[in-house]
């Protein structure tokens, strides 16, 4: 398939979970993929998967909360591929805590990882996307902690709601340049991070069953579910779509 032929995607947090799934799906559709993150080993592993399947991959070490590293990673990607058309702001972190249980340091860490990172990458990408004649910025928020919220998610919900606001504002600012900005809002997706969180629960299986029961479709999301939607937002089929908040949650926000 070649829905993304000629596209080059810069994917943050590309070494695991949703980022890995996006990289593989994009490559299968003909895009070149740049994998950015702090840990090189998982990025290199995903790059090998992409290349083994006949795709093109580039790995760049990058702390997405540091503007100089973000700019260097984007420059490296543009130099390697010759252009850049797509940004997937996937990197992030979770904190389970209410306001009283959230220190200033925790607050700053979560806001930086989830919101500041999306801002820095998107801002630095603008001139690169302009040189490509436009492009697509795909942000990752949350259905259950961005559109609505849940207990013990003060910093996380604040950061993910902020990503939605960032998406709306940048979509308005750059629509006339052909730079589209949209946001995917998954509910619970089966990732390494989610498994780690529930592993510490006294009864992990019971806790997972209870959480699964809140979703009308009766299952958690798969990383591929998110990747398929990201492919659509990167493809020309969505060329008249910008500033859109897309719940991907098995019906959770319909209840």
* Catalytic center residues: 156
Name the phi and psi angles at 15, rounded to 5.
Answer: -90, -15
Using alpha carbons, select from 36, 26, 115 the residue that is nearest to residue 75.
36
Tokens of 230: 């990201």
Taking Cα atoms as reference points, which of 85, 129, 56, 132 lies closest to residue 234? 85
Rounded Cα distance, 94 and 146, in Å: 12
Phi-psi region of 43 (alpha: psi -120 to 50; beta: other; left: phi over 0): alpha
d(CA 144, CA 162): 14
Rounded to an integer, what distance in angstroms lies between the CA atom of residue 115 and that of residue 65?
9
Q: Three-class SS of residue 86?
A: strand
Q: What is the dihedral of CA 253, 237, 12, 98, to 10 degrees?
A: -10
Among candidate residues 38, 26, 142, the one with its CA nearest the CA of residue 85 = 26
Task: Tell me how far apart the alpha carbons of residues 218 and 214 are, in angstroms, rounded to a whole number.
Answer: 8
The encoded tokens of residue 194 equal 């989610």
Tokens of 29: 């559709």
């Amino acid at each position: 398939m070649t829905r993304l032929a000629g596209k080059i995607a810069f994917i943050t947090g590309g070494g695991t979970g949703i980022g890995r799934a996006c990289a593989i799906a994009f490559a299968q559709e003909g895009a070149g993929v740049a994998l950015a993150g702090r840990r090189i080993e998982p990025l290199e592993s995903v790059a090998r998967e992409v290349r083994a399947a006949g795709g093109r991959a580039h790995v760049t070490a990058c702390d997405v909360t540091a503007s100089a590293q973000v700019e260097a990673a984007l420059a490296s990607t543009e130099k390697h591929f010759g252009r850049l058309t797509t940004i997937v702001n996937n990197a992030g972190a979770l904190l389970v805590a209410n306001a009283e249980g959230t220190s200033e340091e925790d607050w700053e860490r979560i806001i930086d990882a989830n919101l500041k990172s999306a801002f820095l990458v998107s801002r630095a990408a603008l001139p690169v996307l302009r040189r490509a004649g436009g492009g697509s910025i795909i942000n990752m928020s949350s259905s259950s902690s961005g559109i609505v919220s849940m207990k013990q998610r003060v910093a996380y919900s604040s950061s993910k709601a902020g990503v939605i606001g960032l998406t709306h504002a940048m979509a308005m600012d750059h629509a006339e340049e052909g730079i589209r900005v949209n946001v995917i809002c998954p509910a619970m997706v089966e990732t390494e991070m989610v498994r780690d969180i529930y592993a510490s629960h006294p009864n992990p299986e019971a806790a997972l069953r209870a959480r699964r029961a809140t979703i009308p479709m009766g299952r958690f999301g798969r990383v591929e579910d998110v990747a398929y939607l990201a492919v659509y937002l990167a493809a020309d089929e969505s060329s008249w779509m910008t500033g859109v908040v897309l719940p991907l949650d098995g019906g959770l926000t319909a209840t």
